[in-house]
């Protein structure tokens, strides 16, 4: 699962391999281009890939706080690509929680609702990816 850290002037593209985050690439936002070899930047919107075929991919990371459940609305960065034909993939990242369930319970062109149920003892993150046309 890829995700982009956009907190600095140079965005960093990571891939979570199931155990750790691996830095795959960097995006030079000052010069408005990705570093050589990168396919993770379409020149406009962070976290969005638009392939030549028209396939859209968007991804991000949501941090889930301590508590007995969590619901948040995750907005699509570019809603014009968000149609009803979208497949979601969610990846649990870290944490020592047990009996925690998560999923997407509703979505529309503006985004989707991520719902987490269970006793969340340690904060953790969920990487999300949406792809469609």
The topology under which CATH files domain 2-132 is Immunoglobulin-like (2.60.40)
Q: How far is CA 113 from CA 70, 72, 101, 105, in A?
A: 10, 6, 14, 6
Query: Rounded distance, CA 105 to CA 91, Å?
Result: 16
Residue 34 CB contacts under 8 Å (≥ 6 apart), including other chains: 25, 27, 28, 40, 41
In tens, the pLDDT along 18-70 reads: 778 888 777 655 554 443 333 433 333 345 555 556 566 677 778 888 888 88
CA angle 105, 78, 12 (to 5 degrees): 95
Question: Does the structure show a pLDDT above 60 at 80?
Answer: no
Where along the chain do its domains lie?
2-132
Residue that has been written with the tokens 């600095």 in this structure: 8
């Amino acid at each position: 699962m890829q995700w982009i850290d956009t907190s600095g002037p140079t965005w960093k593209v990571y891939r979570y391999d199931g155990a750790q985050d691996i830095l795959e690439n960097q995006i030079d936002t000052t010069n408005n281009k990705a570093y050589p070899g990168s396919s993770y930047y379409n020149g406009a919107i962070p976290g969005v890939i638009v392939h030549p075929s028209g396939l859209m991919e968007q991804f991000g990371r949501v941090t889930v706080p301590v508590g007995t459940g969590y619901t948040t609305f995750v907005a699509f960065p570019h809603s014009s690509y968000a149609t009803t034909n979208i497949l979601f993939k969610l990846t649990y990242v870290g944490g020592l929680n047990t009996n925690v369930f998560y999923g997407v319970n509703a979505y529309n062109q503006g985004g989707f609702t991520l719902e987490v149920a269970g006793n969340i003892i340690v904060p953790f993150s969920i990487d999300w990816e949406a792809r469609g046309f």
